[in-house]
Chain A
Amino acid sequence: MTIIKRNSLFCTLLVTSIILTACDNKNAPNDAADASVPAIEQSAHNKLETLPLPKRLAFMSGHVEAGLALYRAGKPEMGAKHLLHPVSETHATERVGLDALGFDASLFEAVSTALERGLPASEIETQLLAAEENLASVAAQAGGDTLEIIDYLMETVLDEYAIGVTDDLVTDAGEYQDAYGFTVVGIKRAKTIKPQPLALISSLEALLALWPEAPIPPENPATLSQIQTQVEAVRGELNKLAMPASDEINVYSARKEALIKPLFDRFTEQTGINVNLVTSKGDALLTRLEAEGAKSPADVLITVDVGRLHRAQQAGVLQAVEIPDINAVIADRYRDSAGYWYGLSLRSRVLIYSPERVKENELSSYEALADDNWQSRICIRSSGNIYNQSLIASFIAHSGIESTDAWLKRFVDNFARHPRGGDRDQIKAVAAGLCDVAVVNSYYLGAMLNSSNAQEAKAAEQVKLFWPNQAGRGTHMNISGVGITKAAPNKANAVALIKFLASEESQKWYAEANNEYPVVGGVDISATLTSWGKFKADTLAVEKLGELNAEAVKAMDRAGWK
């Protein structure tokens, strides 16, 4: 085991030292040279710069493995080319991030100098060991999904073999040997997986056997289609391993069944993972999670507001999970900085007005609704509603408790009636003339506009939507979101589900099914959402809303908002 580890580290070490040499000494002999680099190599090379670090390391290792195999086979002159191969292709950008992982260049400079002088390996053993230890920590830090890396190596094997062997003859020995090296790296990586994936390893070994004389070009090499078949076999094994161990995931969801189940059905279709669902109120689910403790069957908690996610995090029932793919697509302010929860859709709280009785230019911000000219003209639901609580929490976050208190008193005085009913009722009240402006979540207007009920649709067409605070902080946004529970028995599935819920397909669905805005940028939105135009959203980090929720409720109580 140690031998294997040391071996592979040694390869990486060599590559690294060679790269460094090349950088230090621009006139190093690269006779095989840039001019002769085939087109495919060029493209792989271009791709390399954008590859994640773990894959770049694997790519370099492949070349070095080929060189080492030739060296051991007694062809040092052939091997040297391969050991130098990466140098010609390397740019400084490829090594970006190595330093951050604790890479110590000086150790490798020493090794490369020794190698240049042609010292025997035994004499530089101590230097090798020191460098090896350093690299071990770098490799551990770099991490990466081993299965993904092997899959990438297989892709590269196919590319290079297609160049190396044409018309059943070895036409480019270098590429033929590189493909061999990538396969060797693939086997070594596969052996690091615990427990050992025997089927995968044996399929990789069967692939390696297709090089009859190892890296030395034979007269009758395996055909490309033989390689292709075996690579497919390897990929089949990879897919089997990538399938999570269990085929189910347990979801506690405060999002109602009708507004999430269709997505889960789609997820099951794609992955074969069955979704078990309990829906309830967010706080009730949170209490259930807390009571169930470490043995809770729940994997994820889905809520319809950030306040509940914040509470769940405070209660210690969630775990922080870094999902790099998602961090790249969801803006910071819509997810927890440590990865305890992720936003899935956006819910904007907007103004609805009657165009007959209100001119658009009379409207500006939430704040202005406390002015005297709105006396008895405003409809809004009860302060028990979470979206009102979040809105007031955003006031406190932006302007402090005292000014919020003062504003609330004047705002509540302007209500046209005691708060009652839901958001749709407020919209209908504006349409019917009971009040002139209502504060509602935009998706309710969307649902009414698309309603099969003619009366609802008619009422919705009589009113207009206004985006408040465009000149200032932007329109208030809340999120529906998800967090992985601390007890999660199917964590891998939970990650897969979150990735799916943040995928373009799912993000589109929120807009189409419930007129919510996607958290992921660049996703097509529904016609209804498009018709409301672009707007500026509040950039406040939504976790603030969770922190200030209780403060907001108290402020509303003080102001007499029923």
Chain B
Amino acid sequence: MEITQRAKLSLFSWRIYNARWLAVITVVAIILWLPLFIIIASLGQPFSDNFQHIANTVLPDYLSNSLILMLGVALGTFVLGTSAAWLTTMCSFPGRRLFEWALLLPMAMPAYIIAYTYTGMLDFAGPLQTFLRETFAWRYGDYWFPEIRSIGGAICMLSLVLYPYVYLIVRAAFLNQSHALLEVSRSLGNGPWRTLFFVAIPAARPAIVAGMTLALMETLADYGTVQYFGISTFTTGIFRTWFGLGDLNTAAQLSSMLLFFVAALIVIERHSRSHMRFHNTTLQKTHLPRIPLTGTNAFFAVLWCCVPLGFGFILPATQLLAWALETWQTALDWSFAKLVFNSFSLAAIASIVCLFLAVLVCFAQRIMHKSKWASLALRAATLGYAVPGTVIAVGVLIPFAAFDNGLDRWLVKNFSVSSGLLLSGTLIAAVFAYVVRFFSVSVQTLESGYAKIYPSIDHSARTLGMRPHKVLCKIHLPMLKTSLVAALLLVFVDVLKELPTTLILRPFNFNTLAVRAYELASDERLIDASSSALAIVLVGLLPVLLLSRAMNQQTKP
């Protein structure tokens, strides 16, 4: 009797909490949606002649190139990321422990930097082709060589730096996969390949999709690589409209269309797996014995892992190092140390804020899992990732400046005090923009972690009278540890590489490594840019190493 009473009471209080958490999710979503709303509001403006001109001349080109690019990167990141995750979690072969973390390294490489680097090496006028021509006395047209600055080249570049998203999230999924599932598969006579394709991959689908969604949104938002390669995509089109035609409104209208396109993709994807749920029932993990690979198999496993690592990191980093050695005397001084500090602290602040909000919102959604509104609000708040940073920055710039000017006028009117611009041109604006842009990264990572925690755990906790924040702190957070670290790291590295938002919103005299690297690289001074580019990679290594440690700790009880 007594027990029933208490249970009722706590169920009642959960309803009150529900309302509070719904408020949390709504407020966060609205704030994060503000910049996107500013962009979408452009659709309310009349469509100009410029829009007509674009639709008549270049739009089909933009669309087809963007689609080809996305398909290519989807395939590339899926193959590289999933296979690497499978090999390092399920098989044992020489160097596996090393690959486990080293395969994350390409993530620290900004896409435009790898694009510049490969162009420097493989272009027609580059050292390799020049060497070939001189050795064999060839001339232009005498031989075939893959053109790096093509759509295929762009797919390769983006796949090489974006596959770690898939690798990281899928690997966590494989590690947490109910071992019983795989055990059953194997005991039923499925070989490792069949288990991979028919059990492990389908069961890891939420994680794979989460990773690929991130990679594809990043692809859509990419400007540096495609612009340098001369590929007209939707993003280059947006900037061409803004910079070339001087028509920000039409550019914003194009951006809104991009947003709807991404939203549609997400909805379709969600719908297609709406009935599939894979959960873990326990915190306990007894890892399946790894499949030992020997001889030829081991050789191919090593070779396979070397491909993304070598092309995505070692080769370009070596080239950067070689260039940096030519110029480091001029590049390294105190101002350089300041750049490192700025980049690091900005990335740290932004990733912590992102993580904090993501935990709040994901937990709220967990509690409200039947609420359509909660899920819609959350989805909407994560769209920013597919929008080019420059466009997000404009979406942040306008409301912040409006707020500042409004506040200033109000203060002057009522108190004869001028506040000037309070938030515009401060790091607060920049950090806010990062959160809008990278919120998706932390949410996707956390969600795929949450997906593996069986809801009955929550139900049990509820029945036992645990309050929501206790459930979060005592049960969810410990179970989500890997995902939390992953979410933090991913945003950290993303902000470290982030360029356009920083460029527009930063305060006076505030430089980051990415800004320095970009300024020099875009002035076609790649060699001078190498020190900063290399530093981004090195600073990015630190969290990568931390993450791999966290992952290892979790696999070893």
Contacts and interface: CB of A to CB of B under 8 A. Distances in A.
A283 B230 contact: no
Contact of B508 (A278, A295, A424, A428): A278
Nearest to B149: A420
Contacts of A384: 227, 236, 239-240, 243-244
A257 B511 contact: yes
Given A420-B229, A432-B140, A459-B125, A386 B243 contact: yes
Interface in B370-408: 390, 393-394, 397-398, 400-402, 404-405, 408
Q: Determine which residue in A283, A447, A558 has the highest number of CB atoms from chain B within 10 A of its CB, and name it.
A: A283
Contacts of B401: 291-293
A296 B508 CA distance: 12
A455 B228 CA distance: 21
A327 interface: no
A278 B515 CA distance: 11
Contacts of A311: 246
Contacts of A381: 230
Interface string A269-302: 0000000111111111101100111111100000
Interface in A431-471: 431-434, 444, 447, 452-453, 455, 459
Given A277-B509, A389-B244, A287 B519 contact: no
Interface in A407-425: 418-425
A296 B425 CA distance: 9
Interface in B212-233: 227-230, 232
B248 A287 contact: yes
B230 A419 contact: yes
Nearest to A282: B243
Interface residues of A, number: 59
Interface stretch (A36-44, A142-150, A548-556): A548-556
Interface in B98-157: 119, 123-125, 127, 129-130, 133, 139-140, 149
B508 A250 contact: yes
A259 interface: yes
A240 interface: no
A291 B424 contact: yes
B190 interface: no
Interface string B513-543: 0011001101111011000000000000000
B92 interface: no
Interface hub of B397, B421, B500, B508 (most chain A Cβ within 10 A):
B508
A377 B171 CA distance: 50
Contact of B519 (A276, A279, A307): A279
Interface string A520-552: 000000000000000000000000000001100
A382 interface: yes
Contact of A429 (B125, B227, B515): B125
A137 B509 CA distance: 46
A418 B125 CA distance: 16
B245 interface: yes
B244 A287 contact: no
A444 B125 contact: no
A557 B528 CA distance: 34
Interface in B180-209: none
A372 to B, nearest CB: 20
Contacts of B503: 279-281, 284
B504 A284 contact: yes
A283 B236 CA distance: 15
B5 to A, nearest CB: 59
B189 to A, nearest CB: 53
Nearest to A252: B508
Contacts of A386: 243-244
Contacts of B390: 281, 284
B416 interface: no
Interface in B232-265: 232, 236, 239-240, 242-248
A75 interface: no
Contacts of B327: 452
Contacts, number: 162
B230 A421 contact: yes
Contacts of B53: 554, 557
B50 A292 contact: no
B544 to A, nearest CB: 29
Nearest to B229: A420
A16 B421 CA distance: 52
Nearest to A433: B140
A562 interface: yes
B519 A553 contact: no
Contacts of A453: 326, 527
Nearest to A553: B244
Contact of A382 (B230, B404, B527): B230
Given A295-B408, A455-B127, A258 B519 contact: yes
A256 interface: yes
B246 A550 contact: yes
A297 B246 CA distance: 24
Interface in B255-309: none
Nearest to B398: A291
A432 B124 contact: yes
Contacts of B130: 432, 455
A287 B38 CA distance: 14
B478 interface: no
Given A283-B242, A434-B140, A293 B405 contact: yes
Contact of B504 (A280, A296, A434): A280
A276 B405 CA distance: 22
B140 to A, nearest CB: 5
A96 B507 CA distance: 50
Interface string A293-336: 11111000000000100010000000000000000000000000
Contacts of A429: 124-125
Contacts of A419: 230
B60 interface: no
B19 interface: no
Contact of A288 (B326, B504, B524, B525): B504
Interface in B419-436: 420-421, 424-425
A550 B247 contact: yes
B55 to A, nearest CB: 11
A550 B245 CA distance: 4
Nearest to B58: A557
Nearest to B419: A295
B45 interface: no
B57 interface: yes
Contact of A277 (B240, B400, B508): B508
Interface in A375-406: 381-384, 386, 389
Contacts of B229: 420
B95 to A, nearest CB: 35
B506 interface: yes
A423 B125 contact: no
A423 B140 contact: no
Interface of A: 250, 256-259, 276-285, 287-288, 291-297, 307, 311, 381-384, 386, 389, 418-425, 428-429, 431-434, 444, 447, 452-453, 455, 459, 549-550, 553-554, 557-558, 562
26 contacts: A250-B508, A258-B528, A278-B507, A280-B504, A282-B243, A283-B242, A283-B248, A284-B393, A287-B397, A287-B504, A288-B424, A293-B401, A293-B405, A295-B405, A297-B420, A307-B246, A382-B227, A384-B243, A384-B244, A419-B230, A421-B119, A428-B123, A428-B124, A447-B524, A549-B244, A549-B245
Given A256-B520, A384-B236, A422-B524, 8 more contacts: A258-B520, A285-B504, A288-B425, A291-B400, A295-B404, A432-B124, A434-B125, A550-B244
Shortest 5 CB-CB contacts between residues of A and residues of B: A420-B230, A428-B125, A276-B508, A291-B401, A553-B244
Interface of B: 50, 53-54, 57-58, 119, 123-125, 127, 129-130, 133, 139-140, 149, 227-230, 232, 236, 239-240, 242-248, 326-327, 390, 393-394, 397-398, 400-402, 404-405, 408, 420-421, 424-425, 500, 503-504, 506-511, 515-516, 519-520, 522-525, 527-528
